[in-house]
Amino acid sequence: MKKILVMCGTGIATSTMVANRIKDYLNSKGLGDKVNISHASISDKINGLDDYDIILSTTVVPDKIKDKVISAVPLLTGVNDEEIYQEVENKVRE
């Protein structure tokens, strides 16, 4: 089972929205039972990122973790969101 973390500035609004969208998308692809999705503020999880297989963020992240994080902003705006959904789907299928 893949562990997905969705982070935002406070861990409340946008991370919840993105987590729900990812969940719905993966369910539509028959992959909902293959993931565990959680959401939090970036400050709560900044030191525990190695515990997750996929990390999405709607906020700016420190340079030292940029290579681990997928920007989830397109999932909020709808611009190029299919690329992000596909990237997450591919990582879940790995």
pLDDT of residue 42: 87
The token duo for 48 is 């525990």
Q: How confident is the model at residue 46 (pLDDT cuts 50, 70, 90)?
A: confident
User: According to the model, what pLDDT value does residue 1 have?
Assistant: 94
Burial classification of residue 47, based on how many CB atoms lie within 10 Å of its CB (0-12 exposed, 13-18 middle, 19 or more buried): exposed
Task: Over range 61-71, report the average pLDDT.
Answer: 87
How many domains, the chain? 1
Strands across the sheet containing 69-71 = 35-41, 2-8, 54-57, 69-71
pTM of the shown model: 0.91
CATH number of the domain that residue 84 is part of = 3.40.50.2300
Question: What's the chain's length in residues?
Answer: 94
Residue 51: give the domain boundaries: 2-93
**What number is the average pLDDT over the span 82-87?**
96
Element spanning 82, H or E: helix 81-93
Rounded (to 5) percent helix, strand, coil in the chain: 55, 20, 25
